[in-house]
Structures are given as C-alpha cells and as structure tokens.
Structure 1
C-alpha cells in the first residue's frame, strides 16, 4: 500500500453504485477513516474523527446517475458521490488486531431496495491471497489500468480537456483499448516520463510553504494550501494533488486538521541535510525529543523510493513508535537508528535498511497538539551516523 503505517491496521472495501444507491451501516468502535470517491475526494469522515465520533453511523450512498431516494432508513445520512466507484478507507485504532476485526466485521452493506428483504452483505476479512503492490503500473500497463479505472465513470467538467487529449491516443471513457504500434510506443514513453514528473513533484517539491520550520529540513506531506476538493480560487491544485497521490492512497478531513488533539499530522524527509537521498547502505540517526506533541502516539516509518511502499528487510521492521518499548535517554529523548548494521545498545530503536535501496521517511503525530501547529516544537534533522 502507498504510504501506509504498520502501527494501525487498514481496512479497504470497494462499492459500485452503477445499479443504484447502497446502504452502509458503519460500526461503533475505535476506528478512523473516510468514504471517498474514485478521485480521492472524501464524502464523509467516519469513526472517532468523523461526525459519528466513533458511535457508528448509517449512510445511503447515491451515485451520479440516480436521484436521491424519497425514503431512507431511519437515521441514515444521505451521501452523494460524483463517481460510481466508492472506497471505504479506514484504520483500526485499537492495539489488538482481533478487536479491530471484531469491530469492522459488524459493517453491513446492502442495496437500498433490499431493506427488510434480508439481503445484506457483511464485511469479512480476507485472510488468503498474495500480497500485491499498490504502486502505479508502469509503461503501457499504466494506460491499460487507467482504461479500467475510467470504465463506468462520467467525464467531469474539470477533466474534459484531459479526456479530449487522451481520446486520439485510444484512451477513452467506456472505450476499448487497442493502440497501434505508433500509439503503443508513444504511450509507453509517456507513462515513463509522466511517472518521472510525478516523482520529482513528490520528492523535490517546489510548492510554496512546504518546509515545517526554517531551521530543519522536515516538510509537510500535505501542501498547506491543499483542500480535499482539489480546487482552489486560482485553479485546480494540479501539482499538489500529483505530489500527494503519487505517495499515498486516500485522504480525509482529519488529515487536514487544524484542531489540536484531533486527526493526524505528517512530516516527511526525502534527503539528508546535505541534499543527498537516504542510502540504504549508510547509517543515520534521529533524536526524537521528549514530549512529542501527539495526544495518541507518534511513529516513524521508512518507505522505498521506487514503490512508495514499506521498505523491505529480512527483519520485517519498518517503523518505530511511542507504542513500543524503546530505549529512552536520560533527558527523555529517543534515539532512532536507521541503517544496515545493528546498533549496539539500541537494538529496539533500530530500523534496518538494505544496501542498494534508497528510502524516505514519514514522521506521524496522531492527535497533534498545539506545539506542533504553532511550530514551537522542533524535530531535529536526520543526520548521518559518525
């Protein structure tokens, strides 16, 4: 998964509104997430960070081709999606996985017309199958998957020029995909160049206001002018959404929070203070100061620059967090070590890296507090180990 953490388990469920509205009975419990449309625009936050406050809620979700129903289940909130495909994108906040499964397994989904018929679907966890990557497909495969993504969707006003430019290349809404040899070569090269542009937009941002503090190199993951509608007064936030969604999957109102103690905040680093990419063959250290302004917990997670997924190592360790039993210094600070060699005396604070692989890092604050927002809190740079 793009940009995930391993401190909280994720739950995904996909819904199709082509045949008509559906009902989602979202469970009560310690969860956080959102219902989002096909273009990563939230319909509503759910769980403790949403209007239901973790008490559960019932939704009627209507797609673009259908009218709002005259009658809905008692207490249900009506949600209008601009796309037929809708994703439920959530995290379980309880530390016990069985508790998380028990909570989400109470989720019920059924067509609106099936009320009272006994025809319902219960969300069940899939425990079999192979682990696959959410990284965007490359080359011609990118366009093949884009065709599938566009299938069943309508062209929105903001996308009409994109759709017009793609059509002569054989990429159309609801169309077949049979590019000739010339088109195949053009599309293959375009996908490679497009990804390089997206990677530069994400890992070397030129968006104003990305630096968290002037005296360190930590950046905000999410541009400060980003809004979940992805449009601003001066036009569509093209660079901002390109950078954001090249790195991650999904969003919510909670990740844009400005209210202390709610939601989550993300700081990122893609290179050392000298501007060099983090090298899996070298060792680095981060001194996390005492009293991190996070109401719930904080975590640091490493990602592979090629996949934007979790780094791979034989130890299967990719993060460290305040929920773990870490070695603490006398002043309350915590030394996190990232490198290929086991650090003597700091084994429990170590995130192993792999030579030949570059990485980047997210520092998460769940329930960020006022010192984060007013920037009076300082997170030092990640430094090369001497």
Structure 2
C-alpha cells in the first residue's frame, strides 16, 4: 500500500490499495467529508441561526410573547445586538405565524425606518419612511406562507410571508425622546380581526438581563439550527443543503442526537466555518466592495437585493459576509435616492492595512459637510462578538448628534480611538480595550449626492505616531 501524500490535511494520510483507498481508511475520508459539509453549512445557515438564537433570547431571557415588542433604548440595552447603531433605539420582536395566524401590525405616523423579514433575513416588506406608507403610518396584514388573505382586508396593506417565522422591527428617527417614545407606545400587534380581544401590545425592556445575540458556537450552533428547521418551511433553493444537514443528523421531525464522532465533527466544522466567515467579512474580496480605491473603507453589505438573488446565482458568500457581522437587511440600507435611507461603510484595518488593535491609539479625520441629511455616526465594535464595544466609558460611537462634539475651524471633525483619552479631552474619543481587536462602521442617515458620486471622501483610521 502507498500513502496518498499529494493531498493536504487528513486525506494525505489515507493509504491506497492500488487505485482505491484502503477499506480500513474509509472512516478518515468520511470524517473529512462530513467536516467539510459542516463548515459549508455553517456559512449557509448564518442568517437563519442568527435570528433563531435571538428569538430564543426574546422568549427565554426577556419573556417576550408574540404580541410584545422589545425596546432596545439605552446603550447597555444594545450591547448584545450585532453591529447595532448607538444613536437610534431599536424596537422589534420575532413572531411565529404558525402560532398567531394572519397578523396585523399597526404603525403610527412619524419618522420611522423598519420592515418585516423572514428568518433568512429577506425582506417581506419595508415600512416607515422607505415603505409605501412613507412615514404616514398604516396597517399591515402579514399572511403566513401558503395562506390566502381574507376577502375583505379592511384597508390593510397585505404582505405574504416567505417564512413561517418573521422579524418585525423598526427604529425611531426623531431625536426628541418623548416623541420617539410616543411612536413606540402607539404600535399595535394582534391577530387579524381580533384587535379588541388581544391584550395591548406590551413593551419589554432588556434592561437587567445579560444577553448576547451573537450566533452560538460549538454544538449549540447546530442545536439552534435543528430547532428552527423543525418550525420552518422548506425553501426549494435549499434542498441540497438540507440533504447535507440530514447526513449530519439534522432532519425534519427527528430528534438531534449526535454521537461522539458527529459531535466532534460538528464542533470542529462550526469553528472552521466561523474562521472562514471572519475572513469573508473582515477581508472582503468581492468586486466593488472598496468604496474609494485609495481608502480602507468597504461597503458593509455586498447584497444587491433583499431577496439575496444575483444573476444566475444566489449571493451565498455575500450573504454570509453580511450576516456574520450584522443582522437584517433592507433596500433602505442600499438607498440610491439622495436624502432617503442609509449608507454604511466599514473599516476593519488602519490606513496601513493592519487589524485595528485595542491597545493602540488612532485618529479618524471626518472632512467638513459629511453627506448625511439627518445625521452621521462612527461606531466601534468588538471583533469577537460583532457587538458594540463594552468599555468602561459606556460609549461606543461619536457623531453629529453628540451635543459636545468638537469641530475644527473648517467644520471638519477629528475622532480618536484608543485605550486612553487624548490630550484634547473625551468629547471626540471612543475608548478601546487593550488585548482586543475592533472594527468601525461609518453611517450616513439620509446620504446625499456627494456620497453617491464619491466626491466627499472620508479619511482612513490612522495609527497615532509614537510620542
């Protein structure tokens, strides 16, 4: 017998009996096959597991029911939310339509941005300023997949869901806290035709509950995937992936009970999948991802459409990149209309192309007149969790809505990142944590023409020179 030394990894140890692998070494090949499938299934399932885990947190940690809303108001409320902005509140919940049946969402008039999506994080409908109500409010009827809307919809806008589980969420854009709270309190969620018999929509606070929306690691990742698979419909485009899941012990209407071998392979596959996801997100190799050729800023999402479909293919790696580092996607995030929606850029490295390190000091120069009709912000995230940085300062962002933000004489702004406050004071500083890497998002709310034509150009995150 000879060893197949021409192959990398464990396959290189397989002995060959002529042109066939030795039968005693077949388990090595099958272990590799299952491991490779697990790593690819991790990338495929990221958006689904992300929402399924967050839904679990809502129910089990916060005690939120299907007709409640969780209000992420304070900075600490949002610490577990993947790449949350630190400026506007989030209001959302995850709802199983097999429990509620056709569902009504009543949204008041006012400056809000939000929508409804399935658990693959595909848009079912945009609501608020970018939706058909254009901020004037309205009633939306969500019909489960395969269902038919009632003959008399009584003026509701009908949205047919592409999944049995949905996320409904929005952000209030009014800077006045009282008006913003009034908008939240006016939202109603109830089954169709049962407005008067359903308890009023309850606002739940995550305050006081340690929590994380980051996708779980190890075997728990697959447990979450198995659980949501039992409660979801089968999408035709996913049938080959579901065949691979079946080979790894995750099947419809069957318990998840992996033996020692499969548990080991699944745990290793999740770890390898996350390593691939980190490279895929933080070192994007998608054509057109770099916004300015001579800067380190990338478009955070390379998804072209909210249904995640490209020409002749679906955007698998683009989807994995975005949903590893973020949650939810809508057309509003890729606005092409000046003054509406949002635009997001990310920097994972400094001006020299090195990872951003928490024990180093950096400066970001924001030229005058950033192209944002509403406001702009720069936000720092922890690499491991992709969540807002949990620093002693209790602040992970600086932006135009900060009342004490210090401007230069020409209207530009210098922002500072590092473990210690700069000599100029704390007003323009975000504290980073020594021993941990971080990345930054720069958001434009209501991006203007000079963003789209790229005539306004943001500086790179520059490492401070040694004293």
2:246 to 167, 175, 194: 167
Give ranges in structure 1 of 5+ residues lacking alignment: none
Match of 1:255 among 333, 336, 343: 333
When Rg is computed on C-alpha atoms for both structures, the one with the higher figure is 2
1:89 aligns with 2:153: no
Q: TM-score, length-normalised on structure 1?
A: 0.96
State yes or no: 1:156 paired with 2:156: no
Shift of 1:358: 0.3
C-alpha distance in 2 between matches for 1:266 and 1:46: 20
Given that residues 34 and 251 in structure 1 are in contact (C-alpha distance below 8 angstroms), is that contact kept between their aligned partners in structure 2? Answer: no
- Residue 307, structure 1, aligned to residue 388, structure 2: no
Residue correspondence of structure 1 range 171-190 to structure 2 within 5 A: 171-190=250-269
Query: Contact 2:296 / 2:353 at 8 angstroms: preserved in 1?
Result: no
User: Paired residue for 2:209?
Assistant: 130
Instruction: Tell me, in whole angstroms, the C-alpha distance in 2 between the residues paired with 1:374 and 1:205.
Output: 22
Matched, 1:209 2:288: yes
Any idea what SS the aligned residue of 1:183 has? helix
* Other-structure match for 1:109: 189
For residues 149 and 206 of structure 1, what CA distance do their matches in structure 2 show? 31
Contact 2:245 2:251 in 1 (8 A): yes
Question: Distance in 1 between the 2:240 and 2:85 partners?
Answer: 36
On the 8 A contact 1:89/1:250 being kept in 2, the answer is no
Task: Give the Cα separation in 2 of the matches to 1:168 and 1:64.
Answer: 27
1:77 equivalent to 2:157? Answer yes
Q: Deviations over 1:278-319 (max 9, x none)?
A: 010000001100000100000000000000001121111100
Corresponding residue for 1:222? 301
Q: Quote the Cα distance in structure 2 between the aligned partners of 1:262 and 1:182.
A: 52
- 1:317 counterpart SS class: coil
Structure 2 residue 102 is matched with structure 1 residue 21: yes
1:48 aligns with 2:126: no
Shift of 1:57: 1.2
Aligned-residue CA RMSD (Å): 1.4
Q: 2:452 aligns with which of 373, 378, 386?
A: 373
Shift of 1:128: 4.7
CA gap 1:33/1:180 in 2 versus in 1, 3 angstroms: same
- Name the CA distance, whole Å, in 1 between partners of 2:231 and 2:312: 30
TM-score for the superposition, normalised by structure 2: 0.80
1:330 to partner: Cα distance: 1.2
> Hey, what does 1:383 align to over in structure 2?
462
Q: Which has the higher helix share?
A: 2
Q: Distance in 2 between matches of 1:294 and 1:144?
A: 42
Residues 72-103 of structure 1: per-residue CA shift (max 9 Å, x gap): 2x220111001111111211112233432321
